[in-house]
Structure 1
Amino acid sequence: MAIARPVRALGLAAIVMWCFFVWQLLKPTASLSSIGDSRLLPTERDPNLDPTGEPEGILTYSSDEYAPGPAGTARINATLLALVRNEELDGMLQAMHDLERTWNHKFNYPWTFFNDVPFTAEFKKRTQAATKAECRYELIPKEHWEVPSWINHDLFIESTKILEEQDVQYATKVSYHQMCRWNSGLFYKHPALANMQYYWRVEPKVHFFCDVDYDVFRYMQDNNKTYGFTINLYDAPQSIPSLWPETLKFIAEHPEYVHENNAMKWLTDNIRRPDHNTKAQGYSTCHFWSNFEIADLSFWRSKAYEDYFNHLDRAGGFFYERWGDAPVHSIALGLFEDSSRIHWFRDIGYQHIPFFNCPNSPKCKGCVTGRFTDGQAWLNKEDCRPNWFKYVGMG
């Protein structure tokens, strides 16, 4: 009998160990929501298909604290910003109605409209009627809008012909080149923004689909974020062939500006679209689609960015090529900023034709969860968000 007890004990231990082994094999894996956004999703899966919610660290709001005008004591120095022409009034009103309905009617942040010509009385009357918040109407100084003196007119004309032959959109429109230059390095110098720290860029005809119940500007401030985006795309490499070489010249002269936690790998990835990397001479062409951007103006006002913009401006690519503010902003952020301070607003449903950011949320109406394009399937390959998540994450 004395020998039987150890045998039984060993048998029981063996059964316990076997059960533990089987449980390890069959136990359910942790869900994405339980392990946080630090775990990368498969690069070809739209993360908006997965459960999501508002970002962490947000504060609830009191309607009294965000009342229109001086009574709104909780607002910080921020504005909704739009570069818009008088003839784009209907498209601007549509965008305003969407953003007011989903967000700004709760927070009443002011709207600041910019134009290179004076706004009409009708534009002012109808836009002000679309919001309870203050509206400001600003004229762009001529010296900020005109073609700079160092641009050779004949070379510009010849260059635009080459761009047009390569199917580069808006290549021959002087006003488009002027707009790209202004959005890249001059808008934040306007006196109307002198006391502003944050802005949310809004363009005519864009759509917003989701109710957002927190102050996005305060979220940026409280969480030390510099830049927020919704959509991340590949650019047309034929529009920016010398942008990356000029950038490399600049950082060779100023290596001190490159942040140790940069996003260089995102900027130079040559795996998913090697054709773009080759044609853009080493630049992946990935960029934040800047028709939506929520940003801290301090970054554009920094010496690193000012010196970078001035270098590019003198190189002439805003006119001899078609350098857009989106790749210029994106390259600067990817090199000179801590990548952890760049935030994907996955909870803000957004569309600028033909692309969408459609979250999986009951707060969203009017867009299909995970939808990226307007139905043209070939455009799905333009999605560069998987690259961002691969190299940087979803912060």
Structure 2
Amino acid sequence: MTIARPVRALIVAVVFAVCLLVVHFAGSSPSKASVFKLDSHERDPNLDPTHEPEGILRRTSKGYLPGPEGTERINATLLALVRNGELSGMLQAMNDLERTWNHKFNYPWTFFNDVPFTEEFKRRTRAATKAECHYEVIPDEHWAKPAWIDDDLYRESVKMLKENEIQYADKISYHQMCRWNSGMFYRHPALEHMQFYWRVEPKVHFFCDVDYDIFRYMQDNNKTYGFTITLYDAPHSIPTLWPETVKFLAEHPEHVHSNNAMDWLTDRVRRPEHNANANGYSTCHFWTNFEIADLSLWRSKAYEDYFNHLDRAGGFFYERWGDAPVHSIALGLFEDKSRIHWFRDIGYQHIPFFNCPNSPKCKGCVTGRLTDGEAWLNREDCRPNWFKFVGMG
């Protein structure tokens, strides 16, 4: 590991020069927008029962009204990576989402595990929904540590991550999960013909009644990715992720979209220490424990090339690269940012953070509250940066 540090320092030294080339390739220009301040107490018109926003509610010809005769479901699934021991947390999340949304549309659930699901898990999750449930085992070749990962280097890397107090660094299953969620899940045969998915994790909460078909909204409005919360990542968990990204972009400038979100990925204003410790990356990322996405994003040549580059670099194991920064960097570089949508009307919580709209349709959360944790956690909110550089669409 001591030999690798001078090499890493050399990489860092050239990063900023290469970043200038990347910005040139991407056609990005500094944002002229003033700093966006989110007013969390502003009413959300999409949830106002007297309001009919364009393209969202009251469009019977497109199937947005609830009920089996009006849903016109499209090719989509609710997706969960979950262990048998997380059954109670999964049932709580299912009950919330079924109550607030899915009982109106009955989209199927697809559960993934690296071992077979128990009969109890199947019986109780089936009882929680009227929709179809599918139970899938992840193939060993999708879950196991790749052959090119050096075991000695992995063990030494884990020691360094623990010294920097990086959570879950010593859990091999966590590294495997991050890699699977980043670039393997969409390769599973069960999703081969699927178009959209909504990722749901155990113990998450949903607070607001939503009366329109989320997946059809995505399709009809040409959206490919939906989020509720964006945060800053722990920079010491991903120190070489951005340098590896810059290296990839130098080799593949053709993948960068002309309407990218490079400014969001490289902003130095609000958390400059993160930008420095992550070697040029702001660490802003979509919190992917909630994500609604078109699977064509990950099946694209740009993303496949990018993931394969990162996978070979080894950072899913030698560091703690998560699917959240990996997906977010890819979206910020390779996707048209106008196709990324903030679902401000979906009340959501994954401890300790909330997305809580201001609407009478929401119960159980406090409007304007980002976290129920310590006050310093409010600094982790990266939504104002997204709104500053991209907007609220």
Q: TM-score under structure 1 normalisation?
A: 0.87
Q: Does 1:103 align with 2:92?
A: no
1:42 Cα deviation (Å)? Answer: 5.9
Q: Distance in 2 between matches of 1:369 and 1:350?
A: 11
Corresponding residue number in structure 2 for 1:89:
87
Question: Cα offset for 1:61?
Answer: 1.8
C-alpha separation between the residues in 2 aligned to 1:56 and 1:199? Answer: 23
For 1:296 and 1:187, how far apart are their aligned partners in 2? 13
Give SS of 1:393's match: coil
Verify: 1:63 aligned to 2:82, yes or no: no
Q: Within 5 A, what are the aligned runs for 1:334-373?
A: 334-373=332-371
The answer (yes or no) to whether the contact 1:240–1:321 under 8 Å persists in 2 is yes
Q: 1:297 is aligned with what amino acid?
A: L
Deviates more, 1:48-57 or 1:162-171: 48-57
Query: What pairs with 1:43-82 in structure 2 (closer than 5 Å)?
Result: 43=36, 45-54=37-46, 56-58=54-56, 59=59, 60-65=64-69, 74-82=72-80
Contact kept, 8 Å, 1:171 with 1:322, in 2: the verdict is yes
The separation in 2 between residues aligned to 1:51 and 1:63, in whole angstroms, is 27
Give the root-mean-square deviation of aligned CA atoms.
1.3
CA contact 1:78–1:197 (8 Å) conserved in 2: yes
Render the CA deviation track for 1:357-376: whole Å, top value 9, x for unaligned.
00011110000001101141
* Distance across 2 between alignment mates of 1:375 and 1:289: 17
Q: What is the CA–CA distance in structure 2 between the aligned matches of 1:357 and 1:46, rounded to whole Å?
A: 12
1:48–1:346 Cα contact (<8 Å) kept = no
Tell me how far 1:62 sits from its aligned partner.
4.8
| SS at 1:295 equivalent | strand
Offset of residue 248 of structure 1 = 0.3
Question: Which secondary structure does the structure 1 equivalent of 2:40 belong to?
Answer: helix
Q: Assess, with a 3 A threshold, how the Cα gap between structure 1 residues 156 and 100 changes in structure 2: closer, same or farther.
A: same
Q: Which AA in structure 2 matches 1:377? A: A
Distance 1:42 1:282, change over 3 A: closer
Aligned position for 2:220: 222
Runs of 5+ unmatched residues, structure 2: 1-32, 47-52
When normalised by structure 2's length, the TM-score is 0.87
CA contact (8 A) 1:103 1:213 kept: yes
Does the Cα contact within 8 Å between 1:199 and 1:297 map onto a contact in 2? yes
Shift of the alpha carbon at 1:51?
Answer: 1.8
2:165 corresponds to: 167
Aligned counterparts of 2:34 and 2:215: Cα–Cα separation in 1? 28
Q: Report how far residue 147 of structure 1 moved.
A: 0.2
Percent identity over paired residues = 79
CA distance in 1, matches of 2:289, 2:34: 26
Offset from partner CA, 1:98-127 (integer Å, 9 cap, x none): 000000000000000000000000000000
Is the 2:195–2:296 contact (alpha carbons within 8 Å) kept by the matching residues of 1? yes
The separation in 1 between residues aligned to 2:136 and 2:351, in whole angstroms, is 27
Q: Distance in 2 between matches of 1:192 and 1:279?
A: 39
Does the CA-based 8 Å contact 2:342-2:392 persist in structure 1?
yes
CA distance in 2, matches of 1:80, 1:246: 32
- The amino acid of 1:53's aligned partner reads P
Provide the secondary structure at the position in 2 that maps to 1:233. strand
Distance 2:334 2:345 in 1: 26
Give the equivalent residue in structure 2 for 1:262: 260
Paired residues, what number? 350
Q: In 1, distance between residues paired with 2:349 and 2:68?
A: 31
User: Aligned runs of 1:1-395 on 2, under 5 Å?
Assistant: 43=36, 45-54=37-46, 56-58=54-56, 59=59, 60-65=64-69, 74-395=72-393
Q: Which runs of 5+ in 1 are unaligned?
A: 1-39, 67-71
Q: Residue 135 of structure 2: SS of its match in structure 1?
A: strand
